[in-house]
Amino acid sequence: MKDLYQVLEQKKMEMELVRTEIEALRFVIPLLAEDADRIDHGLVSLGSQFRETGIASAKAWP
């Protein structure tokens, strides 16, 4: 049987990881929403957005 203190410490570490992930998502969500608004209002085409990130420069699928 596992030591209860080890289990507790493991759960604390897992909770901290989840908190860190939530913090990262809270940071990114407004940025993604802003990009979505720009696309919805026609300020940026989807193709130009990919060119800016370098995704469109990858070789096309045959």
Residue 62 lies in a domain: no
Of the pLDDT bands very low, low, confident and very high (cuts 50, 70, 90), residue 45 is: low
Q: Specify the number of domains making up the chain.
A: 1
Structural domain of 33: 1-40
For residue 25, CA distances in Å to 12, 16, 20, 29, 51 come to 20, 14, 9, 6, 24
User: pLDDT (tens digit, 9 = 90+) per residue, 1-11?
Assistant: 679 999 999 99
Mean pLDDT in the chain? 78
Residue 57 lies in a domain: no
Mean pLDDT of 35-50: 66
Of the pLDDT bands very low, low, confident and very high (cuts 50, 70, 90), residue 54 is: low
pTM of the predicted protein model: 0.53
Residue 28 lies in a domain: yes
Residue 24 lies in a domain: yes
Residue 60 lies in a domain: no
